[in-house]
């Protein structure tokens, strides 16, 4: 019995030491999960993100589209981040107050703080508004494009970060979905 306990402890320690990677944020406790389907014409789920959408290319945002937004939603929010970054999760895109009639984003969304449709860019870990493409220092990294359907338009002032957006979204998320792409610099 002691041998089995020790084996289980060692297995647990090794699993933790192997660095299980962070997955996208889940819904806050008590909120029902409904799935939004997020896709891109540029890459498939789990596929490689084309160079033009990275720091090695034009560094423009990829086209995204989605379906499955619940009828009670009032706005959408988007976060793209890299949980494989050496110093912890690196935020590549923060966009919120997307109108409900928006079901897709074309490639190359301008990096303005406020877009023509009223949506607002937050600040990325690059310290600027708008999309900042994959630019991993080494190895293959995963990039999660996470879309949230919210039951409100968010009233947030100032330089909004991912943390600030997640805090403002708390208790307002009706559904979420994500698309994961990978990139490795050559």
pLDDT tens-digit map of 68-124: 999 999 999 999 999 999 999 999 999 999 999 999 999 999 999 999 999 999 999
Which of 120, 105, 110, 107 has the alpha carbon at shortest distance from 165? Answer: 120
Beta-strand ranges (E) seen in the chain are 37-39, 64-67, 75-82, 90-98, 104-105, 120-121, 140-150, 173-184
On whether residue 19 sits in a domain, the answer given is no
pLDDT surpassing 50 at residue 61 = yes
On whether residue 58 sits in a domain, the answer given is yes
On whether residue 1 sits in a domain, the answer given is no
On whether residue 143 sits in a domain, the answer given is yes
Query: Looking at the 3D structure of the chain, how many domains does it have?
Result: 1
Q: Long-range contacts for 95-98 (Cβ within 8 Å, ≥24 apart)?
A: 95/119, 95/120, 95/121, 95/122, 96/120, 96/122, 96/154, 96/156, 96/160, 96/165, 96/168, 97/153, 97/154
On whether residue 160 sits in a domain, the answer given is yes
Quote the domain boundaries for residue 144: 24-184
Instruction: Give the bridge partners for 82, in sequence order.
Output: 90
According to the model, what pLDDT value does residue 186 have?
A: 83
Residues 68/175, Cβ–Cβ less than 8 Å: yes
On whether residue 111 sits in a domain, the answer given is yes
According to the model, what pLDDT value does residue 151 have?
A: 97
| C-alpha to C-alpha distance for 62 and 155, rounded to whole angstroms | 27
On whether residue 17 sits in a domain, the answer given is no
According to the model, what pLDDT value does residue 33 have?
A: 54
pLDDT tens-digit map of 3-52: 333 333 333 333 333 343 444 454 444 344 569 999 999 999 999 999 99
pLDDT surpassing 80 at residue 144 = yes
| C-alpha to C-alpha distance for 166 and 144, rounded to whole angstroms | 15
According to the model, what pLDDT value does residue 86 have?
A: 94
Contacts of 1 (CB under 8 A, 6+ apart): none
Q: State the CATH number of the domain containing residue 67.
A: 3.90.280.10
On whether residue 68 sits in a domain, the answer given is yes
Provide the CA 185 distance to its chain's centre, in angstroms.
Answer: 20
pLDDT surpassing 70 at residue 173 = yes
């Amino acid at each position: 019995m002691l041998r089995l306990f020790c084996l289980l402890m060692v297995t647990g320690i090794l699993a933790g030491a192997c660095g299980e990677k962070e997955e996208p944020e889940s819904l806050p406790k008590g909120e029902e999960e409904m799935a939004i389907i997020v896709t891109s014409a540029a890459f498939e789920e789990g596929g490689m993100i084309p160079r033009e959408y990275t720091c090695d290319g034009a560094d423009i945002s990829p086209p995204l589209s989605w379906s499955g937004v619940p009828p009670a939603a009032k706005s959408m929010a988007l976060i793209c981040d890299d949980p494989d970054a050496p110093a912890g999760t690196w935020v590549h895109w923060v966009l919120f107050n997307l109108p409900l009639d928006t079901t897709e984003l074309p490639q190359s969304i301008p990096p303005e703080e406020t877009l023509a449709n009223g949506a607002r860019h937050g600040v990325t870990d690059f310290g600027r508004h708008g999309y900042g493409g994959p630019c991993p220092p080494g190895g293959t990294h995963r990039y999660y494009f996470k879309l949230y359907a919210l039951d409100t338009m968010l009233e947030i002032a100032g330089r909004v970060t991912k943390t600030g957006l997640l805090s403002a979204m708390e208790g307002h998320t009706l559904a979420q979905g994500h698309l994961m792409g990978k990139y490795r610099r050559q």
